[in-house]
């Protein structure tokens, strides 16, 4: 056990899985000698060589298409898309091919691959380096979607994702990469996909938040606690399949729910979470479900802190929901 940030934790997970399973292959733009733009894959090329850590052309469709072929022939590729904003040239390969393999083959073939990519704002990346596209992939049957909020979860969830028999999108909140340190086991371990975690106990309002926004929700919860409002916070960790039972239990306890996410509000994943809560726990609700999200605009550069649902934007919604 030692203190690690998310970059180190993910790097260790990749190293452990590559060392114990020679089918695991890392690939992407600059992941080899450079170690990735955020240095997440640093040192892997030196340890495992050109056959296992592959620098690719700047061709996202080609990266994912090649990874699908590798998976179909028995490997377990872990392709990296340098920023989630660049994933769209590979969208057809992901949703039309990787996601459909098991269905089209009647369960005979899977497509065991993990697409790693940094998501979200908070680093002044502007419109092309700050997006949060999770809902586009959650909407596609056959894909699993993971977004850890801390180093411990990142290491355990990535190991589980690599060992999974189906394609997983592993969204890494770049704002958290080096901003959070915590004790993480040095040895390999797993955290099951599809299990949420209650990270803060509370009585009056449930907040569901993931990735970097978890910390904004915690900051907002601490602020409203000064006014007597007790907030329970649930981190889904795996966005799909969603652990709706843990969220529903929390809502049945508090009677209220607020969802916080960076992505735009319209058709964001928060809408699906709130609808599922209404279906399961409607009679327990004591206030209208609420969302605090990004805006329905391109991600801005100079107005980044106005766009992001930071704590100062979450606080009024928590107070209004608690006092409804």
Catalytic residue IDs = 129
Give the separation between CA 116 and CA 224, rounded to whole angstroms.
35
- Residue 184 Cα to chain centre, angstroms: 19
Sort strands 257-264 and 290-294 into parallel, antiparallel or unpaired. Answer: parallel
How many of the other CB atoms lie within 10 Å of CB of 165?
12
* Token duo for residue 87: 């994933």
H/E stretch holding 157 reads: helix 151-163
Give the separation between CA 94 and CA 87, rounded to whole angstroms.
9
Q: Which residue carries 């996410």 as its tokens?
A: 261
- Dihedrals phi, psi of 97, to nearest 5 degrees: -115, -65
Give the separation between CA 216 and CA 220, rounded to whole angstroms.
6
Q: Which residue carries 């979607």 as its tokens?
A: 145
Q: Which residues are 26's β-sheet partners?
A: 53, 78
**Which residues, 6 or more positions from 216, have their beta carbon under 8 angstroms from its beta carbon?**
209, 260, 308, 309, 310, 311, 314
């Amino acid at each position: 056990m030692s203190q690690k940030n998310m970059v180190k934790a993910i790097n260790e997970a990749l190293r452990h899985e590559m060392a114990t399973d020679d089918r695991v292959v890392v690939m992407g733009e600059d992941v080899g000698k450079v170690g990735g733009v955020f240095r997440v894959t640093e040192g892997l090329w030196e340890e495992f060589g050109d056959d296992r850590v592959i620098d690719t052309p700047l061709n996202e469709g080609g990266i994912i298409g090649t990874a699908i072929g590798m998976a179909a022939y028995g490997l377990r590729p872990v392709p990296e898309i340098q920023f989630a904003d660049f994933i769209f040239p590979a969208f057809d390969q992901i949703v039309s091919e990787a996601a459909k393999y098991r269905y089209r083959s009647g369960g005979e073939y899977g497509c065991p691959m993990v697409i790693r990519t940094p998501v979200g704002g908070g680093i002044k990346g502007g419109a092309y380096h700050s997006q949060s596209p999770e809902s586009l992939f959650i909407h596609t049957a056959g894909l699993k979607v993971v977004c850890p909020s801390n180093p411990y979860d990142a290491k355990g969830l990535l190991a589980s994702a690599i060992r999974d028999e189906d394609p997983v999108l592993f969204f890494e909140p770049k704002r958290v990469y080096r901003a959070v340190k915590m004790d993480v086991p040095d040895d390999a371990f797993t955290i099951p996909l599809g299990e949420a975690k209650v990270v803060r106990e509370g009585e009056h309002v449930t907040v569901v938040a993931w990735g970097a926004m978890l910390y904004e929700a915690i900051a907002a919860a601490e602020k409203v606690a000064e006014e007597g409002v007790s907030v329970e916070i649930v981190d889904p960790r795996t966005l799909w399949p969603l652990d709706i039972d843990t969220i529903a239990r929390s809502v049945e306890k508090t009677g209220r729910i607020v969802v916080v996410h960076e992505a735009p509000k319209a058709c964001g994943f928060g809408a699906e979470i709130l609808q599922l809560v209404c279906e399961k726990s409607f009679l327990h609700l004591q206030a209208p479900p609420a969302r605090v999200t990004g805006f329905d605009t391109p991600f801005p550069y100079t107005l980044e802190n106005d766009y992001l649902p930071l704590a100062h934007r979450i606080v009024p919604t928590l107070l209004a929901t608690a006092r409804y």
